[in-house]
Amino acid sequence: MTTVININREILSPEEANISVFDHGFLFGDSVYEVLITCHGIPFKIKEHLQRMSVSAEEIGLKLPYTYEEFFREINRTIAAGNNRESYIRIVVTRGVGEINIDPSSCLKPNTIIYISEFSGYSEGLYKDGINLVIVSTRRNIKESINPGIKTGNYLNNVLAIMEAKKRGATDGLMLNAEGYLTESTTSNFYLVKDRVIMTPSLECGILGGITRGIVLELARENGIHVEERMIRPEEIREADEAFITSTTRGIMPVTICDDSKVGDGRPGGLTKKLIGLYKNKLEDMISGDL
């Protein structure tokens, strides 16, 4: 496994990589980021990830220091330096070094950090047996506070949620919004299946519009599977036949237990398995045209 880090166009080992303690990304979580992976060595959906990061940066008034072409070049240069079979890629742009107060006007130059490490995926057992979620007490941010639809380094509510979930013996936490409706897990979008209809919280519920979410919903519709994006009550989990989560790193992962109760018959459902197969095929088909 090789991990390399690109800081402002300089490729470094983890031991060499340093960021100032006066960087506002460190001091205040004042940053944006994206996570993606490679498929056959190619950064998957890189344009979509960079477009979303551009929107996130605009939302917090942060001017990205690279053009799309410069991001492409630096990401691929760093992947080559890592020389892994497949790579996990994390791109972070911070507000930069400034005075120790929350006013960002003293931050004159953003810092760009690209992390590359080996990506080997998750255990096959998690896809075969499913995972265990719990509904946590930590609520998802409301849009009027820190919009969940943008990816910033200010992630403390998600940190508290995963801590609670782990303390309760679960794989991950499922978060509600301020009105008590389902949103998403700490790093993944969430879905239920009832009578072969996929139900997932709408963007208006306060979720991140996941790149994988978009692919999965498109796949479902292309294959005649009805999809409902709406507000979902927590009680609907008990009535569901299946559940699953999606993310860039996980793909589609079944959920078989929620709040200590089985989802459906407690095994990954047929529609979830079908989507996993469709998604794998779609990845292969999309790679050649992804850049």
Q: Is 47 a catalytic residue?
A: no
Q: What is the mean pLDDT of residues 83-95?
A: 97
Q: Which candidate in 151, 166, 262, 280 is catalytic?
A: 151
**Same domain as 69, residue 129:** no
Percent of the chain with pLDDT over 70: 98
pTM of the model: 0.95
Quote the distance between the C-alpha of residue 171 and its chain's center.
Answer: 16
**Same domain as 70, residue 38:** yes
Domain count, the chain: 2
1 — pLDDT class (breaks 50, 70, 90): low
Domain final residue pick, 71, 100, 118: 118
**Same domain as 130, residue 114:** no
Q: Residue type at 111? A: N
Q: What confidence tens digit (pLDDT) does each residue in 150-168 have?
A: 999 999 999 999 999 999 9
**Same domain as 276, residue 143:** yes
pLDDT at 283 over 90: no
pLDDT of residue 288: 60
Q: What confidence tens digit (pLDDT) does each residue in 189-207 have?
A: 999 999 999 999 999 999 9
Whether 245 contacts 272, CB under 8 Å: no
Whose tokens are 């850049």? That residue is 291
Q: Which domain holds residue 191?
A: 124-287
**Same domain as 267, residue 163:** yes
Q: What is the mean pLDDT of residues 63-76?
A: 97
291 — pLDDT class (breaks 50, 70, 90): very low
Poorest-pLDDT segment among 36-40, 70-74, 282-286: 282-286
Q: What is the CATH number of the domain that holds 277?
A: 3.20.10.10
Q: What is the CATH number of the domain that holds 76?
A: 3.30.470.10
Whether 82 contacts 116, CB under 8 Å: yes
pLDDT of residue 145: 87
**Same domain as 241, residue 130:** yes
Burial class (CB in 10 A: 0-12, 13-18, 19+), 242: buried
**Same domain as 224, residue 132:** yes
pLDDT of residue 284: 82
Domain final residue pick, 118, 147, 170: 118
